[in-house]
Amino acid sequence: MNYFSSDFKLGILGGGQLGKMLLTETRKFDIQTYVLDPSDEAPCKIGSNKFFQGSLMDFDTVYNFGKQVDVLTFEIEHVNVAALEKLESEGIKVYPSPATLKQIQNKGDQKDFYIANKIPTADYRRFENLNDLKLAVEEEQILMPFVWKSTEGGYDGNGVKVIRSAESFEGLPDVQCIAEVMVPFIHELAVIVTRNPSGEIKTYPVVEMEFHPEANQVEYVICPARIPDAVSEDARDIALKVSEAFNHVGLLAVEMFRTEDDQIVVNEVAPRPHNSGHYSIEASYTSQFEQHLRAILDLPLGNTDSKAAGIMVNLVGAEGYSGNVVYENIEKILGQDGVTPHIYGKKQTRPFRKMGHVTIVNEDINEARRIAEEVKNSIKVISN
């Protein structure tokens, strides 16, 4: 099929920053794009050939949108799977497939899937509601501290909380959830696996993630991870095993823990471009966004090696600021070598909202990390 400068139409469900960065690649290749998003101010609005406003969870909206395109993909998991299944049955190519998405959307099902496929993961128990969980804690079937996760609807640290005492339950929604044993880990790692329908498969280098202590959001993504080669190989092998089990097409970001005795434990996955792969725009031969396109269109996959060490710093709304966004000291960081900011196009900031990211590339990982700290301390996302 001719995808380039043709009548071919690629549909993207979700018009956020991931979609916006994907559109940079579709524009490079002159591929026509249709985007659906609930917000009239979605970052993708300016970059797509056609933009539609509507709910991603509404069957008819998703189905009618999908009927207009040749291949359908998504940049967010919270979409109507039944509509995707119907579209697929009518010959529209949907990647990753509705079957893959279904296994991943519910975190309880995702955990059950790991157990069924002998993939190492933290011990857990599922609960239908908050009351059942509290009862299990009272009866000491579940010991604190543990990690509470809502099975559906979580993102960017929302829907996840460490429960250390009875007070920790305050403010939690009464939804289906899992209680997960806390893993004593020394590193949080991630591997992006990419696969096309012909079965070609590649992994990106292992990255290491440093988290914000309060917001449960990634502050730095470091590539390559500062871990022994043997641990790195193990992480890539497990990521491949996860990918094969899900039989996904496109990108699969596999988040993991490295324990004190060098075991790799899978935390969760995302079947789409991912925060842990943003460094690849500047630091890799093939960015994760170009790779996602290559994969879903069944084109040859690109080289996943890095050209240099890369570190990504998330730009999130500063605490105490809401309203029209201002990026303070952005000129200062633009004066530094190897520093590239990406602004997502969200006009309104609020505390901890993801507003952009900055990539730092350098031959030396330690120097890159030092500059990343400088960048983090210089730029502030505030409101006027």
Q: Which residues are annotated as a binding site?
A: 107, 149, 180-183, 188, 267-268
- Residue list for the binding site for ATP: 107, 149, 180-183, 188, 267-268
227-248 in b/e form (b: 16+ CB < 10 A) is beeebbebbbebbbbbbeebeb
Q: Which of 356, 253, 281, 350 is nearest to 43 (CA)?
A: 356
Residue 40 to residues 15, 26, 384, Cα–Cα distance (Å): 10, 21, 22
State the Cα angle at 210 between 215 and 117, rounded to 5°.
Answer: 95
Alpha carbon of residue 95 to chain centroid: 16
In angstroms, the CA 278 to CA 314 distance is 10
Partners of 358 in beta bridges: 313, 341
CB 79 within 8 A of CB 17: no
The β-bridge relationship of strands 71-74 and 9-13 is: parallel
- The single-letter code of the amino acid at 185 is F
**How far is it, in rounded angstroms, from Cα 285 to Cα 29?**
16
The CA distances from residue 314 to 63, 154, 225, in Å, are 34, 19, 17
